[in-house]
Structure formats: structure tokens, C-alpha cells
Amino acid sequence: MEVRGQNPPGPPKKYQATAAKTQPFGAAAFKSSNKTTLRWLGMGGFFINSRGTNLMIDPVLEGFDMPLLISYPIQSKEVPHLAAVLLTHADNDHYSVPTTAGLAPVTKVFHSTVYVDSLLQNRRLPAEGHDIGDTFSVGRVQVRLTPADHAYQNAYPGMSKRRFKNEDACGFLLSTPDGTVWAPGDSRLLAEHLSMPAPDAILFDFSDSEWHFTLAGAVKIANAYPNTPLLLNHWGSVDAPDFAPFNADPAVLAKLVVNPGRIKVLAPGEAYVLKRVKR
């Protein structure tokens, strides 16, 4: 959710957890290998190289309309090639028009929900839209859309002329040769989020906002998969100390979850090698 001015009044927040210094990466990160490597792009975005299949989830690499606390680990013009870009929903900190335009020349296909696909098609980008539960392949990676509840626009009269549906947003469950990765996207907590086969990594939307998991919901999801590494995102990137969606603090989460050592507080661009969780 990216709606300013909806937080209850109160004293201004003086402290904001901030990500570590960006670790830039370049073309070498896109080469084939014998492993699956994940890199946080800042914001809610990730780059995944699964044995040479390169894809990005919700990349924002240029043109964001709010001040940032981080620098981008790579710019759109530096990306050599992508098999796909996956977009969870239409908010501009996930579906970036400048970034998708910049990546279009080197991206084979954009995948998202049916609604976001319509936005991409209107811009004449190569895109495919899917329903929740649909599956598709990106090279050796199998992808399934998982449910989300992020239709916050309907709660604010006048925000949009369109009535949004829950299926306009999604998450993605990726099955790679080296394990499964779940990117739940932005969502309120759903029962389905607590009953999935345990993934080998969660790209963990960490945001104490009513239209995200909230801190309590984040703890529930984390403890539902007590051995799964949590790669935190949606925090430490945007300079907006009065705006809850961007202001979660990893130190708080670490005090509340089972096995806190599995929380991965990556710097933007830092490499994380996927490994199967022992079950």
C-alpha cells in the first residue's frame, strides 16, 4: 500500500531502520552457475539467477517518486538480459513504469495478474496475465501465483474510479533446481499463507501496515515455517519516517520469532545462495 496521509495523528517518528550500504553488482551476476542466487534490489524487489535463468521480481531500479535511503545496486541500463520480470501488483514501488520501460529491451516476458497484464499490454510490452493458482515456466523455474489481499484502494473513496479485486495482486511461489522461494507480495494475512508446503526461502514482506501482514501477522507467518530463512524486504529503503508501510525494524522481528538466526537482513545487492531447508 502506498497511500500517504492515512496514518493516525501522533508525534513524528524520529528513528527509521535503514538498510546497510548497497553492494552493486553487474553483468557477472547474470552468468550461468551451478546454484540459485538471490539478491535484494531494495524496496520489494529481488533478482534471482537460478543456474543461468535470470528473473526479477518487482524491480524498482530508477524513477521512484519518493526520496530513498539506499542507492540502487544495478540500474536498468546495466541489466544484460532477463528471462522474465514478475510483478505482484500495480503499486509503483513494485510495478515501476520507468523500470519496466528500461528493462523491456532485454526482457523476454513480463508476468503478473490479469489486471497488471492489461496495464503492460496497454504499453505494448511483452506480457502474460494469470489467475491465482495458475502455473507457468521460466526456463528451469516453475512459478505458481499465490493469493493476496491488497485491494486497499476500495477503502478510500475517490482514490480510484476502478473497484479493485483481491486477484489483482498476487504472490509467486518459485520452484527452482535448488529449492523453493516464496514471494508473497504485499498482502494482509490470509489463512492460505499459513498452510503452504514449507519453502526454502521467503522473500519476506516486512511492514507494520494494516494492508500488509502487520508485525503480528509477520510473526505468525515466520513461525508457521520455523526453519525457513526470511529475506526481509519492504523496509529500510524509502525516506518516509511518518509512513508505516516503509518503516519496519528487523531488530523488533528478531525478538519475536522462532529461530531468529534465520532472518537475513541483506544489503541491497548482497548475494544469498539458496539451500534446501532440512525438514
* Each residue's pLDDT tens digit, 89-134: 999 999 999 999 999 999 999 999 999 999 999 999 999 999 999 9
What is the DSSP secondary structure assignment for residue 20, as one 8-state letter?
P
* Reported pTM: 0.94
The secondary structure of residue 164, as a DSSP letter, is P
Grid cell digits, residue 248:
519496519
C-alpha distance from residue 93 to each of 25, 197, 212 (Å): 21, 28, 14
Give the pLDDT confidence of 256-267 residue by residue, as tens digits: 999 999 999 999
Element (H, E) at 85: strand 84-86
Residue range 25-54: mean pLDDT, rounded? 98
Are the C-beta atoms of residues 53 and 138 closer than 8 Å to each other?
yes
H or E element in which residue 128 lies: strand 127-130
Using alpha carbons, select from 276, 279, 208, 231 the residue that is nearest to residue 35. Answer: 276
pLDDT at residue 12 greater than cutoff 70: no
Q: Write down the pLDDT at residue 15.
A: 80
In the chain the domains, ranked by start, together with CATH numbers, are 32-273 (3.60.15.10)
